[in-house]
Amino acid sequence: MLSNCFDELRKRSALVHNITNYVTVNDVANIILACGASPIMADDPEDAEEITAICGGLNINIGTLNQRTIPGMFAAGRKAKELGHPILLDPVGAGASSLRTNTAVDLMKELHPTVIRGNISEIKTLIQGSGTTQGVDADVADAITEDNLDEGIEMVKAFARSTGSIVAVTGAIDLVSDGNQCYVIRNGRPEMGKITGTGCQLSGMMTAFVTANPENPLEAAAASVSAMGLAGEIAWSHMSKFDGNATYRNRIIDAIYNMDGKILSEGAKYEIR
């Protein structure tokens, strides 16, 4: 049950280490607090390892990556792996530059993240960059729609099997799979794309969910995706005439702050395939 995952998160106090971009970092911190966990940010190679050691989970987001923070990502990732902490990789902009693509692929190969979360283009880049070709069809349109849903599910499942990671592809329809099952989630609103960092926020919150639910990482990841989309729906229902994307950003975090397992179970729209 997705709702249980949220209730567990509210009960436990997950501490999440985030090495993330400076564009959306404040919203990431606030949404992690909103969902009942606590954030820490540390990206210096000398600092990242020790900070990871006192946390329960690690969120690596490669937006605004640079030559100083990349070693910090690997150092933290190796320590988290050694300690058995869940690791989430958000390959922001993979495919947009070779530094991003190569860094994301290297992180994926070395750290074997618990979860990889990205948009469809980023995930496709990782699929190609990893040298696997099964399930990857250049004909699959970039967005996952009702029309190409079956192919999308197969692609995500295959990538999850080949990497051993849970793979979450978010868009109009969200897919979350461990290679065996695939959650198909239909929460959310298109206006969320007009806010910077809803994806980054989801990655932070997903790391918290997975950290607080070590026995059910697939369900926990799916719960966070559904919760984020539902927060977008709830927040939109509270928008007034002159509100725009800045207010919408605040209301989404507020909706997570006020959400619990019961609200999630009533609003979650998903099927398992």
CA angle 217, 220, 226 (to 5 degrees): 145
Q: Under DSSP, is residue 41 helix (H, G, I), strand (E, B) or coil?
A: strand
Q: Which stretch binds a second copy (CB under 8 A): 17-25, 80-88, 157-165, 175-183?
A: 17-25
User: How many C-beta atoms lie closer than 10 Å to residue 258's C-beta?
Assistant: 10
Residues contacting 222, CB < 8 A, separation 6+:
2, 168, 176, 183, 185, 270
Segment holding 59, helix H or strand E:
strand 57-61
d(CA 78, CA 265): 36
Query: Residue 227 is encoded by which pair of tokens?
Result: 């919760």
Q: Which of 254, 263, 265, 267 binds a second copy (CB under 8 A)?
A: 254
Work out whether 144 is an interface residue with a second copy (CB under 8 A): no
Q: Which stretch binds a second copy (CB under 8 A): 41-49, 154-162, 181-189, 211-219?
A: 41-49
Work out whether 130 is an interface residue with a second copy (CB under 8 A): no
For a second copy, the closer CB: 184 or 252 = 252
Torsion of CA 255, 253, 216, 40, to 10 degrees: -150
Task: Give the number of residues in contact with a second copy, rule: CB under 8 A.
Answer: 56
For a second copy, the closer CB: 145 or 245 = 245
Cβ proximity of 26 and 3 under 8 Å: no
Work out whether 180 is an interface residue with a second copy (CB under 8 A): no
Least distance to a second copy, CB of residue 192, Å: 11
For a second copy, the closer CB: 144 or 253 = 253
Work out whether 100 is an interface residue with a second copy (CB under 8 A): yes
Cβ proximity of 140 and 151 under 8 Å: yes
d(CA 240, CA 58): 37
Work out whether 50 is an interface residue with a second copy (CB under 8 A): yes
Least distance to a second copy, CB of residue 153, Å: 28
Q: Which of 1, 13, 66, 134 binds a second copy (CB under 8 A)?
A: 66
For a second copy, the closer CB: 23 or 149 = 23
Alpha helices in 25-137 (DSSP H): 25-34, 45-54, 69-83, 98-111, 120-129
20-33 b/e (C-beta count within 10 Å ≥ 16 → b): bbeebbebbbbbbb
For a second copy, the closer CB: 23 or 140 = 23
DSSP class of 194: G
Least distance to a second copy, CB of residue 166, Å: 27
Residue with tokens 């192919």: 151
Residues 191-250 that bind a second copy (CB under 8 A): 194-197, 234, 238, 242-247, 249-250
Work out whether 257 is an interface residue with a second copy (CB under 8 A): yes
Residues 77-96 that bind a second copy (CB under 8 A): 93, 96
Binding site for a second copy (CB under 8 A): 21-27, 29-30, 33-34, 39-44, 46-47, 50-51, 54, 63-68, 93, 96-100, 194-197, 234, 238, 242-247, 249-258
